[in-house]
Amino acid sequence: MREAGFSTRAIHGARVPEVRQLPASVPIYQTATWRFETQEEYAEVLAFERPGHSYGRGFGNPTVEAFEAVMAELEGTEAAFGFSSGMSAIHAVALVLAGSAGHAVVSRELYGGSYALFSKVLPRYGIAVEEVDPHDIEEVRSALRGASFFYVETIANPLCTVADLEALAASCREADVPSVIDNTFASPWLCSPATIGYDFVVHSATKYIAGHSDVIAGVVCCSARDRSRVQGVAIDIGGAMQPFDAWLAIRGLQTLEVRQERQCHSAMALAEMLAGDRRVVAVHYPGLGSHPHHDRAAKLFRHNSFGGMLAVELSGGIDQAAAWCEALSTAWIGASLGGTHTLVTHPASTTHRQVPVSERTARGLSDGLVRISLGLENTEDLLDDFNQALQVVGAG
């Protein structure tokens, strides 16, 4: 028999050994496709008529499924489905629930990317989007009549407000309207919204879940039935999570608790320091007793903690805010949040740039507002850094 050629041997020579031990780390199944012995087996696995894996565009991957399993465990849901970004996760849920010509009721306090999805993208499908004040329960209840779904954030980006989430979930159940909540700012360590009645919990897993600013990912936590519906959308339009991203997110989750403990501690210390500074107009952090939603947050959140995010308002507008950010050295100017590095951003020109100026003003997003995501640096170093930056710009 003729020996196979070099390329054939290079392609087929790497035989996967049988592994009888369990690994300490979830393996990365870095493959887009899988082989089958028969065409019938391939067809049945592709149609979910028998267990197995076929193709990486949402049909399943062992590493991704491991991530989905731990997210469902932490959020207290039956199942979860991983996405390539938080926005793709939100988009998929919206399409599942509203289809075409649906009616979405959404909080007026939203991340800029979510605002753009709801105000610009969903209307192209014929989906009507109605904004409501999440703090006005009667307004929400009125809007829920005939709605396809309701959408809110656990801790609103960037002003860190906390709506009466239990009352909102109860209102959705009474109206038989699916409820969707973005739990990115809180993380399942701080709050698990499914336990108080939310049907879909979405995350930008890029943030606290993965936690190291090295992956873009999203996830939807929900019932097993709804997972199948969400998966169907991902298969048809793309956006499913890939194995290496899932592996990074799994690794990040293992330190979520210890990371959040430090981040929440630093956020409280910084909020208290800035709240007592005459050069600061306002500090938005639910851990402060002066925050209008402090008592609500204390009841809702675990571990006597209030999150690693806060927003600070300076009096000098965008110029003063920019100067303060640029005077920092330990903290960095940068996109995203929830990582090991402390990051600052100016929402009016970055995260909420999609929101018209008049609407930003109405929502309290002033030009002097700075959003801060606390990292894992020593708390004392961060306090010194933010304080010296205030001295440099002479805020107020």
- 3-state SS track over the chain: CCCCCHHHHHHHCCCCCCCCCCCCCCCCCCCCECCCCCHHHHHHHHCCCCCCCCECCCCCCHHHHHHHHHHHHHHCCCEEEEECCHHHHHHHHHHHHHCCCCEEEEECCCCHHHHHHHHHHHHHHCCEEEEECCCCHHHHHHHCCCCCEEEEECCCCCCCCCCCHHHHHHHHHHHCCCEEEECCCCCCCCCCHHHHCCCEEEEECCCCCCCCCCCCCEEEEECHHHHHHHHHHHHHHCCECCHHHHHHHHHHHCCHHHHHHHHHHHHHHHHHHHHCCCCEEEEECCCCCCCCCHHHHHHHCCCCCCCCEEEEEECCHHHHHHHHHHHCCCCEECCCCCCCCCEEECHHHCCCCCCCHHHHHHCCCCCCEEEEECCCCCHHHHHHHHHHHHHHHCCC
Instruction: Identify the residue with better confidence: 332 or 356.
Output: 332
57 carries an active-site annotation: yes
Among the ranges given (148-162, 218-232, 342-356), the one the predictor scored with the smallest mean pLDDT: 342-356
Q: For the chain, give the percent of residues with pLDDT over 90.
A: 88
**Mean pLDDT computed over 45-60:** 96
**Mean pLDDT computed over 248-257:** 98
Domain boundaries in the chain? 39-253, 256-393
Q: Which of the residues 141, 207, 259, 371 is marked catalytic?
A: 207
**Mean pLDDT computed over 370-382:** 98
pTM, rounded to two decimals: 0.95
Sign of CA dihedral 173, 175, 177, 181: negative
**Mean pLDDT computed over 67-79:** 98
Residue 203 neighbours by CB under 8 Å, 6+ apart: 71, 86, 89, 182, 183, 184, 187, 209, 218, 219, 221
**Mean pLDDT computed over 319-343:** 95
- pLDDT of 354 above 90: no
- pLDDT of 128 above 60: yes
Residue 370 — very low, low, confident or very high, per pLDDT cuts 50/70/90? very high
Contact 178, 146 (CB under 8 A): no
Q: What is the pLDDT of residue 53?
A: 97
Q: What is the pLDDT of residue 182?
A: 98
Q: What is the pLDDT of residue 396?
A: 46
The topology under which CATH files domain 39-253 is Aspartate Aminotransferase; domain 2 (3.40.640)
pLDDT in tens, 169-191: 999 999 999 999 999 999 999 99
By CB atoms closer than 10 A (0-12, 13-18, 19+), residue 239 is buried
Closest by Cα among 232, 215, 229, 222 to 200: 222
Q: What are phi and psi of 310, to 5 degrees?
A: -150, 160
| Region of residue 267 (phi > 0: left; psi between -120 and 50: alpha; otherwise: beta) | alpha
Q: What is the pLDDT of residue 366?
A: 79
CATH of domain 256-393: 3.90.1150.10
Contact 151, 180 (CB under 8 A): yes
Residue 389 — very low, low, confident or very high, per pLDDT cuts 50/70/90? very high
pLDDT in tens, 260-294: 999 999 999 999 999 989 889 999 999 999 999 99
Q: Which of the residues 57, 108, 251, 279 is marked catalytic?
A: 57
Q: What is the pLDDT of residue 154?
A: 98
Q: What is the pLDDT of residue 57?
A: 95
Long-range contacts of 114-117 (CB under 8 A, 24+ apart): 114/87, 114/90, 114/151, 114/153, 114/182, 115/352, 115/354, 115/355, 116/354, 117/87, 117/90, 117/91
Q: Which of the residues 29, 141, 151, 182 is marked catalytic?
A: 182
**What's the maximum distance between 2 C-alpha atoms anywhere in the chain?**
87
182 carries an active-site annotation: yes
Q: What is the pLDDT of residue 348?
A: 77
Residue 362 — very low, low, confident or very high, per pLDDT cuts 50/70/90? confident
Neighbouring CB atoms inside 10 A of 265's CB total 14
Q: What is the pLDDT of residue 195?
A: 97
Give the chain's mean pLDDT.
95
